[in-house]
Amino acid sequence: MKIELKPLSINDINDDVYQMFQDIPAEENGSNNTAHGLSREEFAKWVRKEINHSEGKNLKPGYVPGTFYILWIDNKPVGCGKLRHYLVPSLERDGGHIGIHLSPKYRGKGYGNILLREMLKEAKKMGISKALVFNHDNNTAAWKMSEHAGGVLESITDIPEKGIKLRKYWIDLSRTR
């Protein structure tokens, strides 16, 4: 199996990557896919906007730079993730460093574990020593992934206004390769 994690680039303005972002719902478990529902033209603009954000350009006030990555398995785009370059107090409460999505047709095959591990390698390269990940308590696949990647559970917090419990995991990257 060929596994590649590549940062989003203008080469991703193509049918396969566009379709992957349309297959992933707009919102799931508190994570948004802002490319869902866009026209092809809007998608091209979105890709350029995300590349700018990754370089710290044109960010809204209070937003931190974040890089989108695409997971390619055997040359097919199967999922994506966003890596925020550093934390601010709001991201320490919810959001964390990493959010990931798999295209529904590729779920339950172990690719989520692969995607999170590959994203953590990028986080380590970026100089992040402890990565923060949040998962909804009822999203078993997501928090199992965090635990498999070495995540240590700090807390489970009730968020009554959203009707959820939020698990907060720290993943020590000094011990990973």
Residues 6+ apart with CB under 8 A from 98: 81, 82, 83, 84, 116, 119, 120, 123, 131, 132, 133
- 18 phi and psi, to 5 degrees? -55, -45
Contact between residue 81 and residue 20 where contact means Cβ atoms under 8 Å apart: no
Closest CB 102 distance from ligand COA, rounded Å: 4
47 vs 71, beta carbon nearer ligand COA: 71
CB of 57 to ligand COA, least distance (A): 25
| Min dist. Cβ of residue 109 to ligand COA (A) | 5
Least spacing, CB of residue 143 vs ligand COA, in Å: 8
In this complex, which beta carbon is closest to ligand COA, that of residue 1 or of residue 11? 1
In this structure, the number of other CB atoms found within 10 A of the CB of residue 123 comes to: 23
Residues at the site binding ligand COA, with contacts judged by CB under 6 A: 28-29, 31, 99-102, 107-113, 135, 139-142, 144-145, 148
Q: Minimum distance from CB of 120 to ligand COA (Å)?
A: 13
- E strand spans, 27-159: 27-28, 31-32, 66-73, 76-84, 98-102, 130-136, 152-159
Nearer to ligand COA, 30 or 48 (CB): 30
Q: Backbone phi, then psi, for 25, in 5-degree steps? A: -60, 160
Q: Which is nearer to ligand COA, 36 or 48 (CB)?
A: 36
Nearer to ligand COA, 31 or 54 (CB): 31
